[in-house]
Every structure is written in C-alpha cells, then in structure tokens.
Structure 1
Amino acid sequence: MSTRMTDLLAAAAERAVLVVQGLPDDLMDAPTPCVEYTVADLANHLYLVVVNFQELAAKQLPDWSQTPDYLHGAWRDAFAAETERLTEAWAAPGSEEGVSPGMGLPARTVGQMALLDLTVHAWDLARATGQPFEPAPETVPELAELLAVMGPTARKTGVLGEPCAAPEDADAFVRLLADSGRDPGWTSPDRG
C-alpha cells in the first residue's frame, strides 16, 4: 500500500517551511534555478500552489489566472499555516480518489504534483539563498514515479524543462532534480 498523500505532503511541507522561514529579505530579488523566477517570484508561486492545491484536494477547480501577492505582513508564518491546511485537505476522505475536475488526472497524481512543487521549489529557494536542503526520503520515490509518467507531457507543455545531466554517482534526489530540468550543481551567479 502506498503512503498516504497527506503524510508525504506533511513531510515535504515541514522542509519547505524551514526554507521559507529562512529566506532573507535582502535576497528576494536574487535569481533561482527556475530562470524565470526571482526568490520573491518563486516564493509567491509556491504559496499560490499551496493554496490552490487545497481546492484541488476538495475536487474544486482553482482560478490559476489570478496570482495574488502573498508576500506581505507575516507571510512566512501565513505560508506555514497554509501548508498545514494543505496537508489537512489531502487527509479528507476521498481526496485521493477519483479524477480531478478540469485537469482530468487521477486525484493522487494531482497530490503528487503538489508534492513535487513543495519539494523541488523548496530546493530551488534553498539553493538560491545558500540554505541547506534535504528532501523527505519517502517523497523521492513518489516523485520519481510522477516524473516517469508525467514528465514527457510536462516538458511538451513547458511545465518542466528538458532533463539535465546528473553525475554518475548521483543519489536519487539529484537524479530527480536533473530529470525535472534542473542543474543539480546550480549556484547563484550573485555568490559565484
């Protein structure tokens, strides 16, 4: 039996919250491994993902065309609260069953997509700001499964970049990063 999505999301959220709490204000304009995003842009995107995937867990279709600015006030603490709501939403009976409306994907696959964003974007933010990051070990096989199934379509639609080369001795997470279109050796040009 596979691990419940709520448990996987909780493990990933714990690590993502630590990274978000550690984002320094003076690096919010710094580049990230996601070339189209600064640290602030990516933090805001991750916040939006956490909010919208709560609705998807409830089989509702969020409005992805709206991108509110979440980065004001005590937004880091608010992000932590929203990640708790995300894990609670995926703990609800039926959240992993059936097909997501509007997306036409199995509900568990949709949960895996949230898990991918929480894990990979947390790494992106950590890498961009010089923070350590280790994924929750139990999430890596789940995400490798998702990329094996959804990766080709995600690349065609521009959601993921083309795979990068990973070192021969790379562990499973480094291979996952490379498969998601990230250079596992990326360093901020600001820090050399």
Structure 2
Amino acid sequence: MKLSVLLDRARDHALPVIANITDDDLTRPTPCADYDVKALLDHLLHVVVEFQKLAAKQDADFSHTPAYPDWRARYPAETAKLVDAWGEPGATDGIAGNMGMPAQTVGGLVLLDLTIHASDLAQATGQRFEPDGEVFTEVHALVTQMGPMATEMNVFKPAVAAPADASPFEQLLAATGRDPRWNA
C-alpha cells in the first residue's frame, strides 16, 4: 500500500486522540519517561513538520524541539501536509535529506512515530487507541526489521515481556520497550 495512504490512515487514528487532550492533561506523565504530555505533543509535531522536509529531500533539523503553543490547530494542518508531502511523486525514491537512509524507510519511521506516539498520548490521557490494521502491519514489519538497531541507538528501549494475553499491538509496544498496559 502506498505510504501516503498509510500515513493518512495513521493520521485518522491519531487526530481524535490529540483532539481529546485537555489543558489538564498537559503535565501528565507518558510511557516515554523523558516526556510529559505537552513535551510529547511538541516532539511529535516537530517530527511531523521535519519529516515533510525529508519527503522533499531537504534536510531536517532535530537539534532541538520547539514548543508549539498552537498545537491544537497545527496538528490537523501539519499532518495533512505530511500526508501530501509523502504522496508527491518521487517522495519515497532515493535518499531522504540528511537522514542518509532510503526515503521509503524514512517515511516508515514517521508512520511508526505517528502510530506509537498516538498510543503513548492515549495511554497518558486515559484514551483507547488501536491503529489501523494495515498501518499496524507496516509498523510491525519496520519494528521487526529495525528493532535491534533502534535499541542500540537508544531510539527504542530494550524489549520487555508482553503479558500472555497481549494483543498484537500490545506485543508491538513491548517490542519497542514500552509497558503495553502502562497507565499514569
């Protein structure tokens, strides 16, 4: 399936979670120990903005994460731009900007971030989240392929054991080092 279609489906599942985050939620902890809800919102929005540049073969800047006070309005607009950017002819061809990786893989990374961090935000704010089935399949393949390298680079924490009755998505979260049943 085309990456932009998968990103659009991931967006459709992430936006309701983001829309339901209240001001009272912003200081809550998240499954990402380094981030509270607001910091994770800023991080994810920055990823969405910078990966638009990577789709256009421009360099991205992840040296710092700005605060986005207008995050509620920007998420729908920026995620729509992300879908469009990765839907442009040639976006998944060649090397993506300064990432130095195949563009198709880089596009998969933003799909992974959008999906996993939407889940993190849902857990942190007491919401339910289940990714689109085809998005899950793509993200699962990427985690399986890149998991050891991502753990080595501290992108993922070492895998944790999933509960015996864990859903496939909970097993995926555990493979990224997250407690699949974490709650604040």
Fold match by TM threshold 0.5:
yes
Work out the percentage of aligned pairs sharing the same amino acid: 48
Alignment of 1:34-49 (within 5 A): 34-49=32-47
Alignment of 1:56-135 (within 5 A): 56-70=54-68, 72-73=69-70, 75-135=71-131
Shift of 1:97: 1.0
Aligned counterpart, 2:151? 155
- When the two structures are superposed, what TM-score results if normalisation uses the length of structure 2? 0.96
1:175 matched to 2:171? The reply is yes
Task: Check the 8 A contact 2:17/2:122 in 1, yes or no.
Answer: yes
3-state DSSP of counterpart to 2:57: coil
3-state DSSP of counterpart to 1:102: helix
Shift of 1:65: 1.0
Task: Check the 8 A contact 2:29/2:35 in 1, yes or no.
Answer: yes
Task: Check the 8 A contact 2:52/2:85 in 1, yes or no.
Answer: yes
Question: What is the CA–CA distance in structure 2 between the aligned matches of 1:180 and 1:88, rounded to whole Å?
Answer: 28
Question: What is the CA–CA distance in structure 2 between the aligned matches of 1:60 and 1:76, rounded to whole Å?
Answer: 26
Task: Check the 8 A contact 2:60/2:98 in 1, yes or no.
Answer: no
1:144 matched to 2:135? The reply is no
Q: Which amino acid aligns with 1:4?
A: K
- When the two structures are superposed, what TM-score results if normalisation uses the length of structure 1? 0.92
Aligned counterpart, 1:5? 3
Aligned counterpart, 1:28? 26
Shift of 1:101: 3.1
Give the structure with the higher percent helix: 2
Which consecutive segments of 4 or more residues in structure 1 shift more than 6 A? none
Q: Which amino acid aligns with 1:18?
A: P
Question: What is the CA–CA distance in structure 1 between the aligned matches of 2:113 and 2:157, rounded to whole Å?
Answer: 14
Shift of 1:4: 0.5
Shift of 1:41: 0.4
Any gaps of 5 or more consecutive residues in structure 1?
A: none
3-state DSSP of counterpart to 1:68: coil
Shift of 1:30: 0.6
Task: Check the 8 A contact 2:25/2:37 in 1, yes or no.
Answer: yes
Question: What is the CA–CA distance in structure 1 between the aligned matches of 2:123 and 2:97, rounded to whole Å?
Answer: 34
Shift of 1:128: 0.4
Question: What is the CA–CA distance in structure 1 between the aligned matches of 2:60 and 2:97, rounded to whole Å?
Answer: 10
